[in-house]
Amino acid sequence: MTIIAIVCAVLFMFAAVRFGLLAHFARTDSLPFESSMGIRAREVRADVETWNKAHRAAWPLYAAGAGVSAGHGVACALAPWASGISVGGFLAVIVGAGVVVLVALTILSEKAGVSTIR
């Protein structure tokens, strides 16, 4: 179970770095146009100004995703040392909740960016 916890912790930390970089680049308008990290909606890819405007609107959600990912990564790393509870069940709840929240934040950030340019 410790190996699974460490793998999940590393994956969540990778997601935290990705969301953090995306938030930084989106806030500073330095995300390359049509980057694979950015919003892939057709409306957003119209021109550079629209691209930057949409990502500026979405950056707080990206920052929240970085925080959520980091928190879940730490929780996964500490799960094997949680005493008195079922580690497998605890880890499943942490990973499941983290994935659901990150997917929701990804969808919401795309919707926020698209609704800003409409």
Whole-model pTM: value is 0.90
Residue range 7-43, pLDDT digits in tens: 999 999 999 999 999 999 999 999 999 999 999 999 9
Nearest-angstrom CA–CA distance, 79 and 96: 14
Asked if residue 1 has pLDDT above 80, the reply is no
Cα separation values, 52 from 14, 49, 68, 89, Å: 24, 5, 24, 42
Give CA angle at 105 (101, 48), nearest 5°: 160
Residue range 44-103, pLDDT digits in tens: 999 999 999 999 999 999 999 999 999 999 999 998 887 667 788 889 999 999 999 999
Other beta carbons within 10 Å of 2: 12
